[in-house]
C-alpha cells in the first residue's frame, strides 16, 4: 500500500506548493529589486516588491536610469554613481521614472526611496551595486527586466536591447550575495525589437536542465499587487504623458485581462500590439547560471563606460553566425 504522506522537501529544493521565486527569497532579510534595463524597468519589479513588503520583508528599489541624473542636487548623491531619489528630490528633468515612482510610493505610505545608477560599464556599475548592497545590508538581489531579452545568450537571431540588461547582469554576477535572481515580466514584448521568442523558450529550457529555472508565476488580476501596480503605471502615464512606458502599459493591460491590439499611447501608432496573458507572468532564473551561459560576458567585463559595452557587443556579433530563428508552431 502506498504511503499517503509526502516525504519532506529537501533543503534547497522547490515544491509545487510554494512558488520557487518566493521560496528562493524566503530566508532573505533585505532584498534589492533593481530594474536591469533602464527606463521604467523598476516598475516591472513593483508587484514583487509589494508582495514582499506585505509579508514583512525589507525591500529596496533601484534602477539603471535613463534620466539626466547629473542635473539632480548634490544632496541626492550617496556615492559617486548612486543617487537616492526621493519624493522631495530636486530634479529638473521632465523624464525621471525614479522620481515619479518615489512620489507614488510615498502617496501609498510605502518606502519611497528609489536608488538610481547612470548608464555605466560593468566595472563602474559593479562598484555602484557593491556600495549599495553593503550600505543596505542586502542578502538578495533580484534584477528585473521588462521583457525577456536579458535571457538571450548572444547567438540568437536578434538581441533586442541588450546593453543595459547585460551590463547589469555582469555587474551583479561577481558580487558575493547569498541570493541572486533575474525575473522577467512582459514575455513577448521584445518582438518589437526583433527578438525571436522560440529562442527565448529554448534558453529557458536549457537553464531548466542545469537547475537554473525557477518557473513562471502569474500575477492575479484581482490581487492587491495587480491593482496597485496598475495604479502606479497609470500614475506614471499621467506624469510623463509624452513618453509613457510602452512595456509596462502592455503588462498592465495584460494583468487587466486585455487581449490583442490594445492601444494606450500615441507612441505605438502604426504598430500592432499583441497583449496576452503571458505578459502578466514572472519568468525567474538563477542569475549566476544565466550569466554562465552568456557567450560574450567576458568581452564586456573590463568596461567602464556604456559606449565600450556597445562596441564590444557589436564586435562579438560580427564574429558569430547567429542561430536560425523558428516560428512558434502553435
Q: What pLDDT is recorded for position 313? A: 98
Return all residues near 249 (Cβ < 8 A) that are at least 6 apart.
233, 237, 264, 265
Helix H or strand E encompassing 169 = helix 162-173
**Cross-strand bridge partners of residue 59:** 31
1-32 burial code (b ≥16 CB/10 A, e <16): eeeeeeeeeeeeebeeeebbbbbbbeebeebb
Confidence at 5, pLDDT banded by 50, 70, 90? very low
Is the C-alpha dihedral spanning 28, 32, 36, 40 positive or negative? positive
Please report, rounded to a whole number, the percentage of residues in the chain having pLDDT higher than 90. 90
Q: How confident is the model at residue 12 (pLDDT cuts 50, 70, 90)?
A: low
pLDDT in tens, 259-288: 999 998 888 888 889 999 999 999 999 999
Pairing mode, if any, of strands 82-85 and 30-35?
unpaired
- Provide the pLDDT for residue 92: 85
Q: What is the pLDDT of residues 291-308, one digit of tens each?
A: 999 999 999 999 999 999
- Using one digit for the tens of pLDDT, what is the confidence trace for 171-203? 999 999 999 999 999 999 999 999 999 999 999
Confidence of residue 93 (pLDDT cuts 50, 70, 90): confident
Q: What is the mean pLDDT of the chain?
A: 94
pLDDT attached to residue 62: 98
CA distance 307 to 119: 9
User: What grid cell was written down for 61?
Assistant: 528599489
Q: Mind giving me the DSSP string for 272-322?
A: ---B-GGGGEEEEEEHHHHHHH-TTHHHHTT--SHHHHHHHHHHHHHHS-P
Backbone φ, ψ for residue 142 (5° rounding):
-120, 110
Taking alpha carbons only, the member of 109, 99, 134, 110 closest to residue 49 is: 110
The full DSSP string for 51-115 is HHHHTT-EEEEEEE--S-GGGS-GGGEEETTEEEE-TT-----S--HHHHHHHHHHHTTS---EE
Amino acid at each position: 500500500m502506498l504511503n499517503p504522506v509526502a516525504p519532506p522537501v529537501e533543503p534547497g529544493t522547490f515544491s509545487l506548493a510554494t512558488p520557487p521565486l518566493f521560496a528562493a527569497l524566503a530566508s532573505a532579510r533585505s532584498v534589492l529589486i533593481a530594474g536591469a534595463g533602464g527606463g521604467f524597468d523598476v516598475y516591472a519589479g513593483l508587484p514583487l516588491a509589494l508582495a514582499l513588503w506585505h509579508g514583512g520583508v525589507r525591500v529596496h528599489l533601484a534602477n539603471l536610469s535613463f534620466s539626466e541624473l547629473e542635473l539632480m542636487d548634490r544632496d541626492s548623491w550617496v556615492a559617486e554613481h548612486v543617487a537616492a531619489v526621493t519624493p522631495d528630490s530636486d530634479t529638473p528633468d521632465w523624464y525621471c521614472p525614479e522620481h515619479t515612482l518615489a512620489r507614488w510610493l510615498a502617496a501609498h505610505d510605502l518606502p519611497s526611496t528609489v536608488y538610481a545608477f547612470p548608464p555605466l560599464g560593468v566595472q563602474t556599475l559593479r562598484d555602484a551595486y557593491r556600495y549599495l548592497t553593503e550600505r543596505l545590508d542586502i542578502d538578495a538581489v533580484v534584477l528585473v527586466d521588462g521583457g525577456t531579452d536579458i535571457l538571450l545568450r548572444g547567438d540568437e537571431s536578434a538581441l533586442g536591447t541588450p546593453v543595459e540588461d547585460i551590463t547589469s547582469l555582469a555587474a551583479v554576477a561577481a558580487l558575493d550575495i547569498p541570493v541572486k535572481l533575474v525575473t522577467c515580466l512582459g514575455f513577448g514584448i521584445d518582438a518589437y525589437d526583433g527578438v525571436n521568442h522560440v529562442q527565448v523558450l529554448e534558453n529557458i529550457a536549457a537553464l531548466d536542465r542545469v537547475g537554473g529555472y525557477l518557473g513562471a508565476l502569474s500575477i492575479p488580476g484581482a490581487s492587491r499587487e495587480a491593482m496597485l501596480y496598475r495604479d502606479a503605471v497609470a500614475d506614471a502615464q499621467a506624469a510623463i504623458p509624452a513618453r509613457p512606458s510602452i512595456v509596462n502599459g502592455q503588462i498592465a493591460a495584460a494583468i487587466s485581462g486585455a487581449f490583442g491590439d490594445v492601444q494606450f499611447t500615441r507612441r505605438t501608432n502604426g504598430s500592432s500590439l499583441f497583449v496576452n496573458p503571458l505578459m502578466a507572468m514572472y519568468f525567474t532564473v538563477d542569475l549566476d547560471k544565466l550569466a554562465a551561459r552568456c557567450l560574450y560576458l567576458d568581452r564586456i567585463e573590463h568596461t567602464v563606460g556604456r559606449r565600450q559595452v556597445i562596441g564590444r557587443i557589436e564586435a562579438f556579433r560580427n564574429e558569430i553566425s547567429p542561430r536560425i530563428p523558428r516560428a512558434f508552431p502553435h
